[in-house]
Structure 1
């Protein structure tokens, strides 16, 4: 069993919880509150900005040109390709994508970004991979799960979103990240392995929490109206 196969096995509970989350189910069923979709897009736009910055940190910690080229290509992927599922969501709720950009991260998304930034700045390339991998991996499996369960056709409102993650470049990206992490995790110390596992599991937990944050339109306490 490879290291990433072990990670997937040990975190199956979180993957299953993500598949069963009402936001994810709503994508498959074609029915989600507009305010939840807007909240998701606002947060995910800024999250992906941070994801690209972490790719940049990975470049600074890479000695192999192959790694530098890969991360450079992934920055381009986020900038030019991963906007398509966002635009699908915006079209469904009738809001311009540009009108959902530039918002402050809600608490959960803010914590997720800082969790990855911590490992990016204080860890090595293997830690960056462990912290980032759950994002593309869970989205890949979400897309396949929803595609196979709901078989969305052209009339399904979220069909472009589902097929982007199920049938697009996400599998190639996930396979590459897994393969690279397997290489770097080979022959690491027990302490290092535990650190990688912790980074991965926390990111899985935060993936679930991100969906929950979006579904419930999570806000900072100071932004809530307090009724006395």
Structure 2
């Protein structure tokens, strides 16, 4: 059993809670409140901007060209390919994607990116990957499980979204392999920090879905849905 196999086993409870979340199940059913989808897109656009920054910091920690090329490719994937599921959601709510960019992050999203940036700035490359991995891994499983459960046709409003993530296994597998190699050569205290970073990212993934469904805002502010 690999290090990332252990991570998955230790966090299966959170993975299941994410899949069972009403927002995620709403994707499968093809029925979601439009204001919740809008809140999600606004937050996820800024979240992915931060994800790119974390990849850039990981690239700066790389010591060989293979790792540099990998993180460069992941930056390109996040910049250009992950626009596709956002466009699918934007079509569903009938709002231009460009109008959903540049909005402040709600508390849970803000917490999540600062958690990742902390490990990217203060921790090792392995810790950084530990903080990053739950995002692509949980989305891969969401896409695959939703397709298996709901068997969506091309007429399903979120058909493109589900298939995009269900077919992202290559990206997740590559990140897992890199983390397995790094963790195998890490002392126990570093492995524990990786595990802590991974679990907190899983918990923050769950919080992100809840934040979107409830249209979470900062205390003292009102949600403004255009």
TM-score range for the pair, normalised by the shorter chain length: over 0.9
Q: SS in structure 2 opposite 1:95?
A: coil
2:61 is aligned with 1:44: no
Q: For structure 2, which runs of at least 5 residues remain unmatched after alignment?
A: none
Q: Which runs of structure 2 are paired with 1:8-157 in the superposition (5 Å)?
A: 8-157=8-157
Q: SS in structure 2 opposite 1:224?
A: coil
Deviation digits for residues 120-153 of structure 1, max 9, x if unmatched?
0001110110000000000000000001000110
Q: Aligned partners of 1:176 and 1:117: how far apart in 2?
A: 21
Q: CA RMSD in A?
A: 0.8
Q: Aligned partners of 1:88 and 1:127: how far apart in 2?
A: 32
Which stretches of structure 1, 4 residues or more, deviate above 3 A after TM superposition? Answer: none
How many residue pairs are counted as aligned between the two chains? 223
TM-score, normalised on structure 1?
Answer: 0.96
Deviation digits for residues 192-218 of structure 1, max 9, x if unmatched?
111110000000000000000000000
Q: State the partner residue of 1:160.
A: 160
Q: Aligned partners of 1:18 and 1:79: how far apart in 2?
A: 25
Q: For structure 1, which runs of at least 5 residues remain unmatched after alignment?
A: none
Deviation digits for residues 13-59 of structure 1, max 9, x if unmatched?
00000000000000000000000000000000000000001111011
TM-score, normalised on structure 2?
Answer: 0.97
2:212 is aligned with 1:214: yes
User: Which one of the candidate residues 181, 184, 193 is aligned to 1:183?
Assistant: 181
Q: Aligned partners of 1:193 and 1:125: how far apart in 2?
A: 12
